[in-house]
Structure 1
């Protein structure tokens, strides 16, 4: 099984020359976004992508000297974060000063600082107005007319639809949000639809007698933000990697570029099919299948997010993350790694393979009562396809 969000203290600290600047600034990025980030996950993914794509470009732009590469990486990430999250300027400047203090003075250091700032400024300009700010991600969305199969606001808050605007944002590489749009969900009344809904009804109910404690624990663990949990996964890959600094920067950049484009594709699919959530289907007078009786009191284990069912956003994220990690570092971590989750305080799970994370995500959303298995599986496939496309065309990011 799986891995942790290790703390900055796990970086090599035996002496100034031994500090891995990629890991150091990975932790700075994570801490900065945790403290002052956006309310929308895709906006935070954008911050990661801009910061680390500019770092990867900067590190590649000069000599293969450690002084240049370390200065360029830190400068690019610092410039990006100060611009995007200015509330953390003092902390970022202190971290930057600490990094620069370890790098020997000289032309390579000076060139690195300049290259990092230049690449970050250029990319920030390039991404201006890309539609990934919170207001653009969450525009007003009219509630569709109620009908079998059609999404409606869900209890208990019955809030407005979220993330409807992400589908109009400008991807980094995908080009079109609908490039890999999956086929439609199972047709109402079909055997597949019945199997989906019965599974969620039985295993995803708050008072389920079918769901085991182990399954409940997995559902609770993966209820946390994908960005938050998978930052621990990616950190483990970076820490354990034997890649040189430029390749580590590229790994972090491509991971988050793929995740931004995946979230854009996810929004496109969700708001194309506008498929109802299990709680709506199971409570409706017409559940969509004659053999499934309505249960107005049915309640999921976890509160249903306020957007359509198909495909599962958690699983598009996990599918894309798995694809990037498998392609760039292999199917396994070099060593077992631990993962924590903000929705399961005090719980640590240990993993060695990326696919297990995906498999648990698929099950977890069913056991939470908030997605059908078809939505989960379609999400994994969509995420993998978007990530594969990003990796195939990655050279465009660096040309």
Structure 2
């Protein structure tokens, strides 16, 4: 499986973007007043990030919170009542996200309440504020009702999953903890835009006796070992930087796209909404593929062969190898940003990593993080390159579907 590249891919992306910007995302709203100093979209983007970081929940559950909050906001700010200028939109956006996240993450209520008070204090009392608050609350409550019981609560995401009987190629719990499989329930959850989670399921992984699989495993064994003598310090840094939560890492990337955008409030809110809707659906499709194929992890395969003491650089996550979840996330994020923003950032942007505190990386486009993620999972010793590349393709496919069908979110 190869990466999409070249003029054909760029033309396809451009066509998707054109269709969505005409039919899927909202029309331009009146320009904000010249005196406006606080960017309410970025303000609530940061508030959302802080709220989502409160407590411990599965990544897909957190992605769901982003999707519901920002989709409610995007719906609420799509139309501006005559004579209300930007005050209505600011109140509607803040109210929608506050209402949604207060319900989904009640432990973040103090942060959310303080943020709402700060936003509303900048808005003159009157009809614009009142109508904005009402619209935001209504959209959030409607969406919360619609998504109730969608299977993305923590218990549904991680149901009990008995380990399969040991067999060559079949996933088994991995060292050092040999914990039960995680995220097995995602495949049963309700997508936002996919009609079924297996629509873009990748082809099966390479046969165990194939040249491709032997090459894959040899690469991981050499470059992904804890005591590797061929992995460079720079490769170790890349593996460590991209080890953290994809949601956390890409929060900075999406923020850069949002901060650099000159588009109206409604368009920017919709960008965040479509991004996270696509990423929820991608995580469901990832779970479907992982548990359909149940491919064992490199550490299991290598230890079953000639190297029973082999240890990866980083601890292997508790779910099957194929496809790589980190790379489905990267592929989907890249696809949404390329389709809706363009292939390159307006300016270089810098992000940090929770798994490599103090380190930063600077990028100029959305593709480079994907390429680094592919390498990183091999150099960490936790995925084969084929699983990484299949993950990128799956993520791009699901995200392209979300972008094509984004208009359905705003009916």
Q: What TM-score do the two structures reach when normalised by structure 2?
A: 0.90
Q: Secondary structure at the match of 1:352?
A: strand
Aligned to 1:58: 76
**Pick from 67, 90, 94: which aligns with 2:110?**
90
Matched, 1:193 2:213: yes
Q: Secondary structure at the match of 1:333?
A: strand
User: How do residues 360-375 of structure 1 correspond to structure 2 at under 5 angstroms?
Assistant: 360-375=372-387
Counterparts of 1:33 and 1:183, CA distance in 2: 34
**Pick from 272, 275, 284: which aligns with 2:295?**
275
**Pick from 199, 205, 222: which aligns with 1:179?**
199
Matched, 1:237 2:257: yes
Aligned to 1:328: 340
Q: Report if aligned partners of 2:225, 2:380 keep a CA contact under 8 Å in 1.
A: yes
Counterparts of 1:340 and 1:128, CA distance in 2: 34
User: How do residues 162-311 of structure 1 correspond to structure 2 at under 5 angstroms?
Assistant: 162-284=182-304, 287=305, 294-311=306-323
Counterparts of 1:88 and 1:319, CA distance in 2: 30
Deviations 1:257-286 (A, max 9, x none): 0000000000000000000000000001xx
Aligned to 2:355: 343
**Pick from 60, 67, 70: which aligns with 2:87?**
67
Report deviation, 1:16.
7.5
Counterparts of 1:197 and 1:79, CA distance in 2: 48
Matched, 1:352 2:352: no
**Pick from 135, 146, 170: which aligns with 1:115?**
135
Aligned to 2:146: 126
Deviations 1:225-258 (A, max 9, x none): 0000100000111011111100010000000000
Unaligned runs of 5+ in 2: 1-33
Report deviation, 1:34.
1.1
Counterparts of 2:42 and 2:263, CA distance in 1: 12
Counterparts of 1:63 and 1:270, CA distance in 2: 47
Report deviation, 1:218.
0.2
Counterparts of 2:317 and 2:284, CA distance in 1: 17
Q: Report if aligned partners of 1:269, 1:311 keep a CA contact under 8 Å in 2.
A: yes
Unaligned runs of 5+ in 1: 1-14, 288-293
Deviations 1:318-355 (A, max 9, x none): 00000000011111111111110011011111111110
Counterparts of 1:104 and 1:386, CA distance in 2: 42
Aligned to 2:6: none
Counterparts of 1:17 and 1:104, CA distance in 2: 13
Q: Secondary structure at the match of 1:350?
A: strand
Q: Report if aligned partners of 1:279, 1:300 keep a CA contact under 8 Å in 2.
A: yes
Aligned to 2:23: none
Q: Report if aligned partners of 2:73, 2:97 keep a CA contact under 8 Å in 1.
A: yes
| Number of positions where the alignment pairs a residue of Structure 1 with one of Structure 2 | 376
Q: Report if aligned partners of 1:61, 1:115 keep a CA contact under 8 Å in 2.
A: no
Counterparts of 1:84 and 1:216, CA distance in 2: 37
Counterparts of 1:222 and 1:215, CA distance in 2: 11
Deviations 1:178-197 (A, max 9, x none): 00000000111101011100
Q: Report if aligned partners of 2:87, 2:128 keep a CA contact under 8 Å in 1.
A: yes
Q: Report if aligned partners of 1:17, 1:102 keep a CA contact under 8 Å in 2.
A: no
Aligned to 2:8: none
Counterparts of 2:391 and 2:123, CA distance in 1: 44
Counterparts of 2:135 and 2:80, CA distance in 1: 8
Aligned to 1:10: none
Matched, 1:377 2:361: no
Counterparts of 1:164 and 1:62, CA distance in 2: 43
Q: Secondary structure at the match of 2:36?
A: helix
